[in-house]
Amino acid sequence: MDDEEHDSGGFSAGFTWGDLISDLVAREGTLTAVAEKLAESRRFEEDVNTVERALRRLRTRGQQSGGKWGTRVVALFGLPANVKARLRWMGAYHSRFTDLPVSVCEDLVRLWDHPPTTERREDRAWLALARTTILLRKNDFAAAHTELTRAEKDLSVAPEEARVEAALALAFIASRSAPETVHVLLATVTPLLSRVSSGDDRACLLARYIDQQAYSLGTKDGGKEDGAAREAMYRKIPVENAPPFALCRRANGLAYALWKQGKKDEAAAHAREAATHAGDGGHVRMRAMALAMLARILRGEEADRASLRAKEISRRLEDETLRTRFEKLPKSKT
């Protein structure tokens, strides 16, 4: 998802019914033209003048419920493309939404979590995914699971990429509490991935899917590690025309797999490569993970610097999950 895809388009903070009506007027030419289309969609159960008066009332509703006419407008016309892109951006774990401090993410979700953006189920699904990401970053896995459960009906009608997001999140949660169920949850991803329209989104989702498959190898056979099997899985992530997020996930996964095979120099090279890809894509959180991987592989001054940088990034991002994970980083003996 490029930055221009989620540009706010000059709408007022949080997006209102007035913004939506103004956008429709810009598209259709006049408020009367909008009313005509809406009246026609209802087989002229109400005349055009009646519908136009309803639209004039609707645009004064701000961020309150739009009632029956709000429902009808959004059902027929949907939300503007850049508003929908904003919601998708917040709901996609591999977007740069996750590179913002947690408190800023919470503010953004609150800004959009109201009518008219919550009128349609598929739009509510993206907001539920955004809230799930925030809860996972706060290390509250139980609340994240509850959020996804509550959003099941909305997610059932959401685009394929949203359903993949939900399945990956559920599998991630299960990997910590019920690892034996992970393969069942991940099995739902494969048929959906091929139908994701955006090439970049598909590449990032595939990288995350393979990453979770590889992680699950360490939860089988009493936690026995199989570095070679993990390496083979990460090498399946395509590199040609891949976005930085996918390349970073691939490189960091290879770093871990090679480290487990005792190939320290190769592993460190891949961890540095992962940090570079993360920097290229502006993925601060992924850069912290790559630095943490480097700290695990190496010893000495470079490892200590990488560890300190990873911990500082997690602090600035207010990311409790990363902070907890990085507490376990080894310290070199000097």
Last residue of a domain, one of 80, 110, 136: 80
Last residue of a domain, one of 59, 80, 101: 80
Nearest Cα neighbor of 319 from 119, 77, 103, 143 is 103
pLDDT band at 11 (very low <50, low <70, confident <90, very high): very low
Give a yes or no: residue 217 inside a domain: no
Q: Does position 25 have pLDDT exceeding 70, yes or no?
A: yes
Which CATH number is 326's domain given? Answer: 1.25.40
Which are the contacts of 216, defined by CB distance < 8 A and separation ≥ 6? 175, 179, 182, 183, 186
pLDDT at 181: 93
pLDDT at 210: 97
pLDDT at 13: 62
Give a yes or no: residue 289 inside a domain: yes
pLDDT band at 220 (very low <50, low <70, confident <90, very high): low
What would the pLDDT profile of 41-81 be if each residue is shown by its tens digit?
999 999 999 999 999 999 999 999 999 999 999 999 999 99
Give a yes or no: residue 111 inside a domain: no
Give a yes or no: residue 109 inside a domain: no
pLDDT at 167: 97
How far is Cα 143 from Cα 7, in angstroms, rounded to an integer?
30
Give a yes or no: residue 198 inside a domain: no
Which domain, by its residues, includes 38?
3-80
pLDDT at 88: 97
What would the pLDDT profile of 282-307 be if each residue is shown by its tens digit?
999 999 999 999 999 999 999 999 99
pLDDT at 7: 45
Tokens of 52: 């136009």
Give a yes or no: residue 158 inside a domain: no
Last residue of a domain, one of 57, 80, 103: 80
CB atoms within 10 A of CB 103: 11
pLDDT at 332: 62
CB atoms within 10 A of CB 42: 11
Burial of 308 (0-12, 13-18, 19+ CB in 10 A): middle
Number of folded domains in the chain?
A: 2
The alpha carbon torsion through 146, 152, 153, 157 (nearest 10 deg) reads: 140
